[in-house]
């Protein structure tokens, strides 16, 4: 696995690379970097030329303090491919990397022969993910990451109890649920890497930008979508008893209204945990009714015409918790017939 850099039209990327053959691009999520794909970069390098870039604002890639949109992040990916001379690739995204991959495949379908989306959303937010609302309130996330970035990482990736406050200052718990043991997934090297990455104020800026501006929430009003401004989200957040007691809580908000009419015809995989699709299910057993009552999950079947689903009963961090399983999923997905290039 080789650490590399390339200058695109507007951004200098750091990325990991291994193998030769047909290109495979892996996009990380929050709060991680391309290091999250270390197992897959190596394990899949016998079948593909694997590339795992740090997205804008993360890891070793450039961190210009500009307003971020999903359109910009998708364009970044295409620019990255152009800089490396990659005409078409298979594309995998986890968490925010999945939100970027979903946008890129819908916006530039001719550049991607297949797409796999791991524990993410594609155009609709899930209301129980309260951090999506919290990030949009000016000042709260800034103060939290300035004061508590290390405690946040230590709790998430090592299970070390934190001393930061709870709601409404932050949606993040300061203790993990009983039985959770992230130390079995993340070793000392991984913990040290993520500590260093998220100590960077420029990365903290981009964490906030992604959620605040690149996922603008829209609700339904009189049968039509309407943008929810920050002031309205703040009112809901500060509702007596908290946002979960607000009458509108539980609504699924669209963050990609410009994409609702777009479809992608190539082989698509959606692997999910209870983070996106709550409820009890067996590991590795996809459910025929996985999207029932869940517009965020149903959106995958709407956007991706050749969709297969895969359930996972573990943690959100699937690539690092179950690398051998992810390797098998992706090899099966790579073996499916590719989407023909657009003419």
- Give the residue from 58, 70, 42 showing the smallest Cα distance to 211: 70
pLDDT in tens, 116-162: 999 999 999 999 999 999 999 999 999 999 999 999 999 999 999 99
Q: pLDDT, tens digit, for every residue of 210-259? A: 999 999 999 998 889 999 999 999 999 999 999 999 999 999 999 999 99
Using pLDDT thresholds of 50, 70 and 90, give the confidence band for residue 68: very high
- Name the pLDDT band for 287 (thresholds 50, 70, 90): low
Strand locations in the chain (E): 2-7, 12-18, 23-27, 49-53, 89-94, 112-118, 218-221, 224-227, 264-272, 304-311
**Count of positions (residues) in the chain:** 343
Rounded to an integer, the average pLDDT of 98-123 is 98
Q: What is the dihedral of CA 274, 26, 180, 275, to 10 degrees?
A: -20
161-180 confidence digits (pLDDT tens): 999 998 999 999 999 998 88
Is the bond leading into 31 cis (omega within 30 degrees of zero)?
yes
CATH number for the region 2-121+261-335 comes to 3.40.50.1820
320-to-53, 184, 341 alpha-carbon distances in Å: 16, 10, 32
Question: 286 pLDDT band (50/70/90 cuts)?
Answer: low
The answer to whether the CB of 14 falls within 8 A of the CB of 34 is: yes
Q: What is the DSSP string of 66-101?
A: ----HHHHHHHHHHHHHHHT-SSEEEEEETHHHHHH
Domain range list for the chain:
2-121+261-335, 131-245
Rounded to an integer, what distance in angstroms lies between the CA atom of residue 224 and that of residue 227?
10
């Amino acid at each position: 696995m080789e650490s590399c850099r390339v200058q695109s039209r507007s951004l200098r990327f750091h990325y990991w690379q291994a193998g030769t053959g047909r290109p495979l691009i892996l996009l990380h999520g929050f709060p991680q970097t391309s290091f999250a794909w270390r197992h897959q970069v190596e394990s899949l390098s016998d079948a593909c030329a694997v590339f795992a870039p740090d997205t804008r604002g993360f890891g070793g890639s450039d961190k210009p303090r500009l307003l971020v949109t999903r359109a910009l992040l998708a364009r970044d990916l295409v620019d990255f491919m152009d800089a490396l001379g990659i005409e078409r690739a298979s594309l995998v995204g986890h968490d925010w990397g999945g939100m970027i991959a979903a946008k890129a495949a819908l916006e530039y379908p001719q550049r991607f022969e297949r797409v796999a989306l791991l524990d993410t959303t594609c155009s609709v937010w899930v209301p129980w993910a309260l951090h999506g609302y919290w990030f949009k309130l000016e000042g709260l996330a800034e103060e939290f990451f300035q004061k508590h970035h290390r405690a946040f990482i230590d709790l998430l990736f090592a299970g070390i109890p934190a001393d930061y406050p709870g709601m409404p200052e932050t949606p993040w718990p300061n203790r993990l649920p009983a039985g959770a043991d992230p130390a079995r997934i993340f070793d000392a090297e991984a913990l040290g890497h993520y500590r260093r990455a998220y100590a960077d104020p420029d990365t903290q800026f981009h964490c906030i930008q992604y959620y605040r501006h690149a996922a603008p929430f829209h609700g339904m009003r009189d049968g039509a979508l309407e943008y929810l401004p920050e002031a309205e989200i703040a009112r809901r957040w500060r509702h007596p008893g908290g946002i979960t007691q607000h009458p509108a809580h539980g609504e699924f908000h669209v963050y990609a209204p410009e994409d609702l009419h777009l479809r992608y015809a190539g082989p698509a995989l959606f692997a999910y945990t209870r983070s996106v699709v709550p409820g009890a299910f067996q590991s590795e057993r996809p459910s025929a009714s996985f999207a029932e009552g869940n517009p965020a999950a149903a959106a995958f079947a709407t956007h991706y015409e050749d969709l297969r689903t895969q359930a996972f009963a573990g943690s959100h961090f699937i690539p690092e918790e179950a690398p051998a399983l992810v390797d098998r999923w992706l090899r099966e997905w790579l073996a499916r017939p590719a989407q023909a290039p657009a003419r």
